[in-house]
Structure 1
Amino acid sequence: MKEQPRLWTKDFISISLSNFFLFMTFYFLLVSLPVMVIQQYESTKTEAGLITTVFLISAILIRPIAGYGIEKIGMRKILLTSLIIFFIASILYFFATSIMALFLVRFLHGIGFGMATTAAGGLVANIIPDSRRGEGMGYFIMSSNLAMVMGPFIGLTAIQMWDASVLFAISVICALFSLIAGWIIRIPIKENKKKIHISFQFQNFFEASAVPISVVGAFFAIVYSSVLSFVSVYAKEIGLIEVSSLFFVVYAAILLASRPFTGKWFDQFGPNVIIFPSIVLFAIGLFILGSSHTALGFLLSAAFIGIGWGTIFPSLQTIAIQKAAPNKRATATATFLSIFDTGIGFGSFIVGMVVAEVGFRSFYINGSIYVLVGILVYYLLHTRKEPLKEKLVERHVR
C-alpha cells in the first residue's frame, strides 16, 4: 500500500495556529465590542451593530484585491503584511476614544482580517498534499471553528469581569500569536517575478470557476447566520439561557469527532457523498432547534448542526479551490469568502426582519425546509455541471 504524503507538517501546523488566533480575535471582539460600545460610549444598538458591519464590509472589499495581489507579490508576503496590519489595528483600540475613531479602527482591522484569511486559504491549499486536500482543508477550517467556540466564551466572560483595557490586551495577544505563527512558515512558494501591472478586469479580482460553488455557500450562509448571531437570544427567549454557552461547545465536540472521517471520505469518494447527507443533517438540526423545549433538544440540535454545517462549509471551500488553477487558488479563496460573507451579512439583516414577524421557532423550523432546497441549488450549480469525464479523471488521480 502506497504511503500517504504527510499532512501535519510544521508549515501546516503553523498556518492552522495562525488562523486559529486570527479568528479568536475576530470572535472575541464580535461578542464583546458591541456590549462595550453601549456601556462605555453610551451608543445606540444600531451603532453597536455597525461595529461588526464596518469590519465585514472592509474585509469583503479587500479580499478580491488581496487575491490579485497574492498572484503578483506572493502569498507569504501578503500574509505577513496582513497580520502586521491586523496586529497594529489591535493596538489602536487602546487609542479609540470616540465611536467614530472606533469605526476607523474596525475598518482597518477588517482590512487586515480580509487579507489574512485570503492569503491563509491560498497558502494552506499549497501546503496540503493534493491527495489529502479534503482532509487537510477540513482540519484547517476546524481551527476557525474552535475559535468560534472559545472566542465568544472568553469574550462574554471578559466583559463581565474586566474593563475595556483588558479586552483590548487579550485581542493584542491573540493577534501577536497569529503573527508569530505566520512568520514561522517557510514553505517555498513560487513568486511571480513579473513586473506588477494592475489591470482592473473582473478576472483579475474574481475567479470565475469559484463563483457557482460560492453562491451555494452564500445560500446556506443566509440561514446559518441565524445560528451564529441569534442562537443565544433564542435560548434566552425559550428559557434555556443557562445552557446557551454549551451550544457551540457541543457543536465543536461533534465537529472534532467527525472531522477525521469526513475529510478522508471527501478525498476517497468525492464531495457529493459528503455534502448531500450533510445538508440533510443540517436541516434536521435546524428543525430540532426550532422544536426544542428542553436543554437536551437544544444541545442535540447543536450536534446535528455541527456535523452538518461543519462538514458543508469546508467541503464547499475545497471545491472552490480544486476547480481553480494552482496560480488562482488565492483568488478562488478570496472569491469564495467574499461571496460567503456577503451571504452572512445579508442573512443577518434578513433574519432580524423575518424573526420580528414570525418568531424564532417558526423561522428555524421553516429554515430547515430552506436548507433542504439547498440540495437542488447545489445540484444545479455544481453536480449537474460537473462532467462525467472530469469525475472519472479525479477518481483515477486519487
Structure 2
Amino acid sequence: MNSQNTPVHIRLWHKDFWLMAIANFLLAMTIYMLVPTMPQWLLEEQQFSPQDAGIAMGAFGVGLFALGAFISYMVQHYRRNQVCIIAVMVEALLIATLYYLDGLHMHVTSPVVIFVQRFAWGAVFGLAQMVLTSTLIIDTCESFQRTEANHSAAWFSRFALSMGPMAGLLFWRIGGFHLVVTAAMVCAVAVMVLVLLVNFPFRAPQDDIPTMSLDRFFLPHGFPLFVNLQLVTLAIGLIFSVVLSEHFYSTMMMGFVLAILSQRFVFKDAELKSEVVTGLILIGAALLMMITRDLPIVMVAAPLFIGMGIGLIGSRFLLFFIKLSRHCQRGTSQSTFLLGWESGIAWGVGIGIALFHGDTITALIVALVLVVLALGMYHFTHSWFTNNKNR
C-alpha cells in the first residue's frame, strides 16, 4: 500500500529545536495577526477603497518572491542566523511604520506608500522564514530526523494561522490597531532573541556560489504541486477575507488538533491520497454549510472542518515537496512549499477584499469553486507525484 507515516523521535525535541520551533510560530504570528485587522484599519482609518486595501494585502504575497533568488548566496557568504536576524529586524522596523502612522493618526497621502511597505514586508518575511525553515531548523537536528523536524516545525506556524487572527481581533477590540502592531513588534523581537540563543557552528564562506540561483528558493520540477497548493490556499485566503470572528479561529484551532490526531491514528496506514482528498472534502463541506445555512451549529462545524482540512492538506503537501526534492534540495522544497502557502493566502485575502468586500456569499462561492478545482486537479497531480518522487 502506498502509505506514509512520519515517525516521532523524542530526542528531536531538545532545547535548540524548541527555540527554533517557537521562533517559527512567533514569526508567523507577526503576519497573521494583521490578516483580519489591517484591512479594517486601511478601510476605516486610512479611508482606502476596497480595491486599494486588497492590493495592499496582496502585495505581501508578491514581495515573498523578491529576495528568494539571493538566499543561497547570503547563507553561504554570511552567518545564516545573522541573515535571519537582520531580516526580522527590518520586518520589525516596517511594522513600526504602521505603529507610527496609527499613533499619530496620520493619513497616508498615497496608497502606493502602503503598497511598497507591504511588498518590502513580504520580502523580508519571506527571507527570514525561508532561512529559518530551510536552514536553521534542520541545523539543530540529526540528519535522520530532518523530515520529522520539518513536519513538526511546520505545525507551529500552522497553529499561528488560527492563533494569529484570533489574537489580532482580540487586541483590536481591547486597544485598537495600535495594540495589534505593538504585539506584532514584540513577536518580531522575540524571534530575534530566540535565534540568538541558539549556537550555530561557523561555516567557512564558499566563493563559487552564484549571486542568484533557485537553490533554497524554488523547486522547478515541483511546479504542478505548487499550482495545486495555490488553489487551496487562495480559497483559504478568500475565507479569511470575510471572517472576522475570534470564535471562528479558535474553533479552527480545534480542527488542527483533530488533524494531528487523525494523522497519527486514522490515516496512519491509509492510502497516501486519502489525506488531501479528505481535507478538500472537509473544506468544501464547510463552505457549503456557510453558503446555504445560517445556524449556530454552522459556526462550530464549519471552522472545525476547515481547520482539520487545512491541517491534513498542509502536512501532506509539505511531505510531498520533500519527497520530490533531489539530493541537497530539502531546503529548496521547504521554501517552495512556503511560497505556495503564504502567497496563496495573501493573494486570496487581497482578492476577497478587492472584489468581494461586503459580499460574503459570493466570496465563499468562489472559494468553493477553487476547492473543487483543486480536488479535480489533485487527481492528476497525485499520479504525477508518484511517478516523479525521489525519496
TM-score by length of 2: 0.80
Report the secondary structure of 1:194's partner residue.
Answer: coil
5+ residue gaps, structure 2: 1-6
Matching residue within 110, 113, 124 for 2:122: 110
Residue 54 (structure 1) aligned to one of 53, 56, 59: 59
Offset, 1:105: 3.7
What is the distance in 2 between the residues matched to 1:42 and 1:50?
14
1:77 matched to 2:68? The reply is no
For structure 1, which segment, 155-164 or 11-20, has the greater mean C-alpha deviation from structure 2 after superposition? 155-164
1:131-176 Cα distance to aligned partner (Å, 9 max, x none): 5556543432222233222322232233333255433322221111
Find the partner of 1:383 among 372, 386, 390: 386
User: Residue type matched to 2:123 in 1?
Assistant: I
Hey, what does 2:157 align to over in structure 1?
A: 144
Q: Name the CA distance, whole Å, in 1 between partners of 2:309 and 2:270.
A: 18
CA distance 1:81–1:364, shift in 2 (3 Å): closer
Tell me, yes or no, if structure 1 residue 179 matches structure 2 residue 192. Answer: yes
Find out whether 1:226 has 2:238 as its counterpart. Answer: yes
1:359 corresponds to 2:362 = yes
Contact 1:15/1:124 (8 A) holds in 2: yes
After TM superposition, give the deviation of residue 362 of structure 1 in Å: 4.1
Greater CA drift, 95-104 or 15-24 = 95-104
In the alignment, which of 7, 17, 27 is matched to residue 22 of structure 2?
17
Distance 2:372 2:44 in 1: 39
Q: How far 1:310 sits from its partner (Å)?
A: 1.2
| Cα drift, residue 255 of structure 1 | 1.0
Is the CA contact (8 Å cut-off) linking 1:288 and 1:297 kept in structure 2? Answer: yes
Q: CA deviation at 1:300?
A: 1.0
Do the aligned partners of residues 375 and 342 (structure 1) sit closer, same or farther apart at CA in structure 2, a change above 3 Å counting? same
Q: In 2 relative to 1, CA 38–334 (structure 1 residues): closer, same or farther, beyond 3 Å?
A: same
Alpha carbons of structure 1 residues 82 and 341: separation in structure 2 relative to 1, 3 Å: same
- Within 1, Cα distance between the matches of 2:233 and 2:8? 37
Give the alignment partner of residue 92 of structure 1, picking from 97, 102, 108: 97
Aligned to 1:157: 170
Identify which range, 204-213 or 54-63, moves more after superposition.
204-213
1:263 Cα offset (Å)? 6.0
2-structure distance, mates of 1:292, 1:134: 41
Output one character per residue of 1:169-217: Cα deviation in whole Å (capped at 9) or x when no partner.
Answer: 22221111121122222254x7363116535455685333433322221
CA shift, 1:219, in A, is: 2.6
Q: Give the Cα–Cα distance (whole angstroms) in 2 for the partners of residues 176 and 204 of structure 1.
A: 25
The answer to whether the 8 Å contact 1:218/1:341 transfers is no
Give the length in aligned residue pairs.
Answer: 375
Deviates more, 1:170-179 or 1:140-149: 140-149
Q: Answer yes or no: is the 8 Å Cα contact 1:320–1:336 preserved in 2.
A: yes
Alignment of 1:114-125 (within 5 A): 114-122=126-134, 123-125=136-138
Work out the CA distance in 1 between the residues paired with 2:238 and 2:8. Answer: 43
Q: CA RMSD in A?
A: 3.5
Once the 2 structures are TM-superposed, how far is the Cα of residue 117 of structure 1 from its aligned partner? 1.2
Q: 1:257 to 1:50 in 2, by over 3 A?
A: same
1:6 corresponding residue in structure 2:
11
Q: Report the structure, 1 or 2, having the larger helix content.
A: 1
Q: Does 1:284 align with 2:285?
A: yes
Residue of 63, 66, 70 corresponding to 2:71: 66
Partner of 1:239: none
Moved more, 99-108 or 267-276: 267-276
Q: 1 CA distance for matches of 2:94 and 2:366?
A: 37
Q: Which amino acid aligns with 1:334?
A: S
Shift of 1:18: 0.9
The answer as to 2:206 corresponding to 1:194 is: yes
- Are the equivalent residues in 2 in contact too, given 1:59–1:115 (CA < 8 A)? yes
5+ residue gaps in structure 1? 233-243
Letter in 2 for 1:280: I
Give the conservation status (yes or no) of the 8 Å contact 2:58–2:349.
Answer: no
Cα distance 1:350–1:93, how it changes in 2: closer, same or farther (>3 A)? closer
Quickly say closer, same or farther: Cα 1:311–1:116, change in 2 above 3 A. same
CA 1:133–1:208 in structure 2 vs 1: closer, same or farther (change >3 Å)?
A: same
- Decide whether aligned partners of structure 1 residues 365 and 193 sit closer, same or farther in structure 2, where only a CA change above 3 A counts: closer
Counterpart AA for 2:321: A
Q: 1:38–1:288: structure 2 CA closer, same or farther, 3 Å change rule?
A: closer
Residues 93 and 102 in structure 1, CA contact (< 8 A), matched pair in contact too: no
The amino acid that maps onto 1:46 is Q
Matched, 1:307 2:308: yes
CA contact (8 A) 1:217 1:340 kept: yes
Q: Is the 8 A contact 1:83 1:175 kept in 2?
A: yes
Larger RCO, structures 1/2 (Cα 8 Å, 6+ apart): 2
CA distance, structure 1, for counterparts of residue 284 and residue 178 of structure 2: 41
Q: 1:261 to 1:72 in 2, by over 3 A?
A: farther
Q: Which of residues 24, 40, 44 is equivalent to 2:49?
A: 44
| 182, 189, 195: which one aligns with 1:169 | 182
- In the alignment, the residues of structure 2 paired with residue 261 and residue 175 of structure 1 have an alpha-carbon distance, to the nearest angstrom, of 32
What is the CA–CA distance in structure 2 between the aligned matches of 1:68 and 1:118, rounded to whole Å? 13
Secondary structure of 2:243 counterpart: helix
**Structure 1 vs Structure 2: percent identity of aligned residues?**
18
Secondary structure of the 1:195 match is coil
